[in-house]
Amino acid sequence: MPTVAIDRIKIGRNRRPVKSEKVDELKESIKANGLLNPITVDQKLNLIAGLHRLTACKLLGLEAIECNIVAYAGADQARLAEIDENLIRNELEPLERSELWLERDQILERMGLRAKVGDNQHTLKGGEMISPPPKRTLELAKEAGYSERTFQHGKQIAKSIHPEVKQLIKGTAIADSPTALLNIARAGTKERTLAESAQQAKDLAQVRGDIAEAERQAQLVKELQAKQKELQTLAYKSAVAQKEAKLAVKKTQNKSENVIAASNSTIQAGDEWVLGRHLVYGGDTSKQEFRNLLPSDAALAIATLSSAWEHNYLVEEARVVAVIRSEGHIYDFYKNNQMPFQYELLLGNLYVGIFSHQIITKPQTPINVEGVEGIINYLLNLYTNPNNFVIAPFMGHGEILIACERLGRICFVGDSNLELVNRGLGRWQTWTGKTIQNSKYFRGSR
């Protein structure tokens, strides 16, 4: 087996990222046993297979490495071999695998080895049978070791997700979820299709020499692609929110919380507590006293719809207001309420009305979140970022306060029910392990 100087081997820019843990394993193996499997390069010493092995040898200070030198007819054939070698590996994320499937498909089509719509195994070329015959999707899927449906979905993911959204996804848990990826790919389908049509119209206008029409279509392409990106970014955030919400619910179910509540005797109407970065108010949150405590730039307010709703002011205090209500009453609330309604979400068995003075795009992906804590986590992940302010005019069981603590948001929460305030304080104390000291307790506005 020939050896080649390591510094002569060329690494293409489209290689998959190196995984450090894999390189570390190979370093130990090579030190103990030598390089058991040579890397593969083409005649111009372009790397085809073995990036992790090559990296491990570099880090070990080796100057040369054993190579299997293969002759390929052209760049497409060499890249095809590289893709096939990568597809053999099981550690590929679904997004990585989908992109390789699509690229492989495109290469085979350029090489005349990919059947187009309308082709069959007996298509003739120049009166003779094509050899080898073009391969259908089913055959390509079997070669990849997947069903035709999975293969088609994978190519849809690779082709349909906006490049900038792909960069958001890579390295996250969503990159490992085919279902979430497919939902993201399907978001903005209308915009992507219209953008492709506008691109074709632009190309035709350029051929005709109609510069004004070409520029108009180019601007339309830009606008439609931007809208596609917006919708797919929202779908991505929705997928992240669902995953984190489910994880939070699972952790809560697995964790028995022994609530150490503050003494009821210490709580009086109008009292305030500072819990780290959060503020808790004991009193009527529909009154000006609570409003005076609120920040001027809250990202989100989360409220449950009470029988005596007097909290329309929330839409002036927060960019987004989410009102949670059980089935049967929500439509009357939308009809009679003065807050600007955007849309409704069905989360589990609860309805959530979204209100805002701004246009808020509705998530297009199916939402499967169970339990109040899962819903709270979903809303926080979808509409806020770390260090954002969140308003909660009802304490409930402290779900919003605890979720803000866990996710790094800053909560302004209150309730006229002092018993609920007491329980919320105790739950925060238990969750954080911090004691509510008298020094953190004061009265009056800040």
Residue scoring higher pLDDT (113 or 103): 103
Give the tokens for residue 383: 């509409």
Q: Tokens 């795009």 sit at which residue?
A: 361
Q: What is the model's pLDDT at position 300?
A: 96
Note the pLDDT of residue 254: 53
Q: What is the pTM of this model?
A: 0.58
Q: What is the average pLDDT across 120-125?
A: 47
Asked if pLDDT for residue 418 goes beyond 70, the answer is yes
Q: What is the pLDDT of residue 272?
A: 85
Most confident of 16-25, 289-298, 368-377: 289-298
Q: Which of 69-73, 125-129, 202-206, 304-308 has the lowest mean pLDDT?
A: 125-129
Asked, colleague to colleague, whether 1-91 and 264-443 share their fold, the answer is: no
List pLDDT tens digits, range 350-390.
889 899 999 988 887 777 777 788 889 999 999 999 999 99
User: Which of 11-15, 68-72, 427-431 bottoms out in mean pLDDT, i.e. has the lowest?
Assistant: 11-15
Q: Which residue carries 């083409």 as its tokens?
A: 42
Can you read off the two tokens belonging to residue 231?
């919708």
Among the listed ranges 235-239, 366-370, 385-389, 435-439, which one has the minimum average pLDDT value? 435-439
Distance separating alpha carbons of residues 395 and 276, to the nearest angstrom: 17
Q: How confident is the model at residue 259 (pLDDT cuts 50, 70, 90)?
A: very low
Helix (H, G, I), strand (E, B) or coil at 364: coil
**Residue predicted with more confidence, 249 or 273:** 273
Residues 251/402, Cβ–Cβ less than 8 Å: no
For residue 112, pLDDT over 50 is answered with yes
What mean pLDDT comes out for the span 302-316?
86
Amino acid type, 403: A
The tens digit of pLDDT for each residue in 279-290 reads 999 999 999 999
Rg (the chain; Cα; Å): 29
98 compared with 392, residue with greater pLDDT: 392
Burial of 160 (0-12, 13-18, 19+ CB in 10 A): buried
If you average pLDDT over residues 291-304, what whole number do you get? Answer: 92
**Contact call for residues 361 and 231 (beta carbons, < 8 A):** yes
Token digits of residue 83 = 């893709």
pLDDT band at 444 (very low <50, low <70, confident <90, very high): very low
- CB atoms under 10 Å from CB of 291, counted, come to 16
**pLDDT > 90? residue 194:** yes
Mean pLDDT taken over the chain: 81
pLDDT at 380: 93
With a cut of 80, say whether residue 232 has pLDDT above it. Answer: yes
Give the pLDDT confidence of 201-231 residue by residue, as tens digits. Answer: 999 999 999 999 999 999 999 999 999 999 9
pLDDT at 439 exceeding the cut of 60:
no
Q: Which residues of 183-202 are buried (b: 16+ CB within 10 A; e: fewer)?
A: bbbbbbeebbebbeebbebb
Task: Supply the pLDDT for residue 238.
Answer: 86
What mean pLDDT comes out for the span 156-168? 91
Domain range 264-443, its CATH number among 3.40.50.150, 3.20.20.450, 3.30.70.260, 3.40.50.10090: 3.40.50.150
Count H helices, E strands: the chain? 16, 15
Predicted pLDDT at 437:
53
Task: Enumerate residues 6+ apart whose C-beta is below 8 A from 320.
Answer: 299, 300, 301, 354, 355, 356, 360, 383
pLDDT of residue 170: 85
> What is the reported pLDDT for 409?
94
User: Nearest 5°: CA angle at 126, between 120 and 128?
Assistant: 65
Query: Over 50: is that where the pLDDT of 256 sits?
Result: no
Q: How is domain 1-91 classified at the CATH fold level?
A: 3.90.1530
Contact criterion met (CB below 8 Å) for 161 and 147: no
pLDDT at 98: 83
Separation of alpha carbons 188 and 191, rounded Å: 5
The DSSP element (H or E) to which 298 belongs, if any, is: strand 298-304
Counting Cα atoms < 13 Å in the Cβ hemisphere of 425 gives 29
In 3D, which of 16, 92, 20 has the Cα closest to residue 56? 20
pLDDT band at 265 (very low <50, low <70, confident <90, very high): very low
pLDDT attached to residue 49: 77
Confidence (pLDDT) at 266: 59
Which of 446, 63, 62, 15 lies closest to 271, judged by CA? 446
Q: What is the pLDDT of residues 37-80, one digit of tens each?
A: 888 888 888 887 788 889 999 999 998 999 988 776 677 777 77
Nearest to 298 by CA among 317, 315, 313: 317
Q: What are the residue ranges spanned by the domains of the chain? A: 1-91, 264-443
CB atoms inside a 10 Å sphere around CB 170: 14
